[in-house]
Structure 1
């Protein structure tokens, strides 16, 4: 039987959790090296379906509603926009973890036709309510 000190086990668990958090952060914020070739990042989303409604929540921290466009493009919902660099001119950047630049997220819709019934940007999240027409 192998005996491990509790402090060693806690350290391994802590490192494992930190690695998992880092993987999730990279998974949600897909950065591209050349913003001129397309969007620089994809915001994370939640999608819930209830009866005839599809509820979509898109995390857009610090994004002005005037800089967001939402359209239904065939069988997908397209959310595009831009989050400008929040730093003031001449300031020194110490750390940037929240992505900035042009973003785009294409969300596959279930079968059927949908219409955007409600759209609001509140508390850093774009909340959309889509109604299934057929």
Structure 2
């Protein structure tokens, strides 16, 4: 895989977040963050979670993802093995370029939350001369 400074910085950011508290210790859903020419795409695995258990907020150039996967309590004293993450989680994301916080969209389908974060302006556009 070729060297990608943005990917490397995001990897370092994730590690620092886990050290300094932006990611909740314990269960945190896996995340992929891709930078395209005009947007970022954040893909988060949240199987079994419902929309009302997920909250996204954008403020002060930070996108914050919070959620809760309810602890299933059918017969907790009989668990033989418990590997699936449960309980609350929180993640915070900053982006390498300014983004349009008002145009962020999120879609939950088949256990995958896809968040589209458009980049702010900067794109070339034609200006008509009057």
TM-score by length of 1: 0.63
Q: C-alpha distance in 1, partners of 2:49/2:31?
A: 15
Q: 1:90 to 1:113 in 2, by over 3 A?
A: closer
* Residues 90 and 110 (structure 1), Cα distance of their counterparts in 2 relative to 1, 3 Å cut: closer
> Larger RCO: Structure 1 or Structure 2 (Cα < 8 Å, ≥ 6 residues apart)?
2
- Superposed displacement of residue 91, structure 1: 6.2
Q: Is residue 129 of structure 1 aligned with residue 116 of structure 2?
A: yes
Verify the 8 A CA contact 1:39 1:102 in the aligned structure 2. no
TM-score, normalised on structure 2? 0.65
The answer as to 2:98 corresponding to 1:98 is: no
**Contact map agreement 1:75 1:111 (CA 8 A) in 2:** no
Q: Is the 8 A contact 2:99 2:117 kept in 1?
A: no
Deviates more, 1:92-101 or 1:110-119: 110-119
More strand by share: 1
The question of whether the paired residues in 2 share the 8 Å contact of 1:81 and 1:104 is answered with: yes
Q: CA deviation at 1:103?
A: 0.6
Q: 5+ residue gaps in structure 1?
A: 1-26, 31-37
Whether contact under 8 Å (1:120, 1:128) holds in the other structure is yes
Displacement, 1:40? Answer: 4.1
Question: Who wins on radius of gyration, i.e. which is larger?
Answer: 1
Alpha-carbon distance in 1 for matches of 2:55, 2:89: 11
Cα separation, 2, equivalents of 1:41 and 1:105:
11
1:90 CA drift (Å): 5.9
Structure 2 stretches lacking a partner, 5+ long: 1-14, 19-23, 122-130
* Contact 1:54-1:129 within 8 A present in 2 as well: yes
2:51 paired residue among 60, 65, 70: 65
